[in-house]
Structure formats: C-alpha cells, structure tokens
Amino acid sequence: EVQLVESGGGLIQPGGSLRLSCAASGFTVSNSFMSWVRQAPGKGLEWVSVIYSGGSTYYADSVKGRFTISRDNARNTLFLQMNSLRVEDTAVYYCARVYDSGSGSSFDYWAQGTLVTVSS
Amino acid sequence: DIQTTQSPSSLSASVGDRVTITCRASQSISSYLNWYQQKPGKAPKLLIYAASSLHSGVPSRFSGSGSGTDFTLTISSLQPEDFATYYCQQSYSTPPYTFGQGTKLEIK
C-alpha cells in the first residue's frame, strides 16, 4: 500500500528556515517523480516543486532560489528545505507522488499535509 | 506559463443532479489535464487524469472530456459525498504544473 507521511511543519519567523520531510512506503521514491504542493489558508492549490527520478528539479517562480527539493534514497524520504521564509509562504504543504501516464503527469497519492506558519 | 481557468467558481446543486465544471487552458495542452476533489481539511484526491481516464477506485459517475484548451468534469448523478471543491491541473511540457482556482460545489 502506498503511503506518504509528512513531518516538519510549525511556526517560524520571517527570514527563517524549515525543512519538511515526507516518508514514503509501498514504492521507491528514487524511481518516482515526487512533488510538493501548497495551499494557503482559504485559498487554492499551488504547485511548488518537483524532482524527477533522474534528479532534475523544477520550482515555482514564487519559491525559486529559496526552496530546495531533495530525497534520501536510503530512507525513501523526500525533503523540502525552505529558506528565507516569507509571510506569504504560510500554507499547508503536501507532498505527492507524480504519476506519469504517458499523457501528462498527475498527483496520484498525497500525504496528509503539514502546516507551515510564517509569522513574527 | 500556461494558465488554467475554471468556471463556475461556485455551484449549488441537489443530490441526483447532473453537474458540469469547465476548465480552460491559456494555450493548447492536448489531453494533459487532470481533475481533483478536495474536502475541507483533507488532501486532494485524483479523480481523472489525461483528460478522460478514471483513476483507480473513483466511481463511474465521474467523467472527464476535452482536449486542446477546453475541458469538462461531469458528475452524472450527485451523491451527498460529492459536495467538495474541485480543481483542474495541467501538466503540458515542463513545469510549472498549474492548478485552476477551484470550483466549490455546495448543496442547494
């Protein structure tokens, strides 16, 4: 059974750093595409970042240069390192597995979400 | 970047109704369009991928259609558990994988 469990959210001051973790089971993270999606309070979904099985990474313009996606193959875990955090980064962050159907990429399994609050 | 626009932003309907939600892309995205359902406090769930393919375990009352720039999600007969917010998402070419702004489906 595919399962994703997140940890690492919390309250952080503007300018601070936080690292989110997403532990996977039931599949191999290193053989998969993995992504982060966030949702600000009362708002819609915003794609944040993706890491491909080959290691290529992409970021939304809103986080480029501040966030880094990575994985630990031995721990089968995905990470999101968030630096220089801003108030507008406040959101529930979801990790999700990317399913490549051959006709595009979709997010077929999601973690439960972890709240990141950036506030002084 | 490719933008996706959903309509309507909110919708009221009754159990048993047939409901259609529309998603329009700012340029042609072939069939690279997915649909998700999200209930309050929960993670989104994949319903439809590649415009018209039903994700495993999703009831057959959900269907998707379209290609190019115009897409629809249809619920053939609304059930009480279908009241939620629905999002489209495009994955054409390289990221960003943009989402629509969402359609909130409420009970009439």
**Of the partner residues B49, B94, B101, the one whose CB lies closest to the CB of residue A106:** B49
Check residue B1 and give its pLDDT.
Answer: 87
B-proximal residues of A, 37-56, CB under 8 Å: 37, 44-47, 50
Q: How confident is the model at residue B94 (pLDDT cuts 50, 70, 90)?
A: confident
The span from the CA of B51 to the CA of B47, in Å, is 10
Helix and strand element counts for chain B (H, E): 0, 10
Residues across chain B: 108
Query: Does residue B93 come out as left (phi exceeding 0), alpha (psi in the -120 to 50 range) or beta?
Result: left
The span from the CA of B60 to the CA of B46, in Å, is 14
pLDDT in tens, A13-69: 999 999 999 999 999 999 999 999 999 999 999 999 999 999 999 999 999 999 999
The span from the CA of A97 to the CA of A34, in Å, is 5
pLDDT in tens, B3-42: 999 999 999 999 999 999 999 999 999 999 999 999 999 9
| Confidence check: pLDDT of B103 > 90 | yes
Residue of B nearest to A38 (CA): B43
Percent of chain A with pLDDT over 90: 96
How many A×B Cβ pairs under 8 Å?
Answer: 79
Q: What are phi and psi of B82, to 5 degrees?
A: -90, -10
Check residue B22 and give its pLDDT.
Answer: 98
Whether B100 and A47 lie within 8 Å, measured CB to CB: no
- The CA distance from A41 to the nearest CA of chain B, in Å, is 10
Whether A106 and B50 lie within 8 Å, measured CB to CB: yes
**Of the partner residues A104, A108, A110, the one whose CB lies closest to the CB of residue B32:** A104
| Confidence check: pLDDT of B61 > 90 | yes
Q: How confident is the model at residue B93 (pLDDT cuts 50, 70, 90)?
A: confident
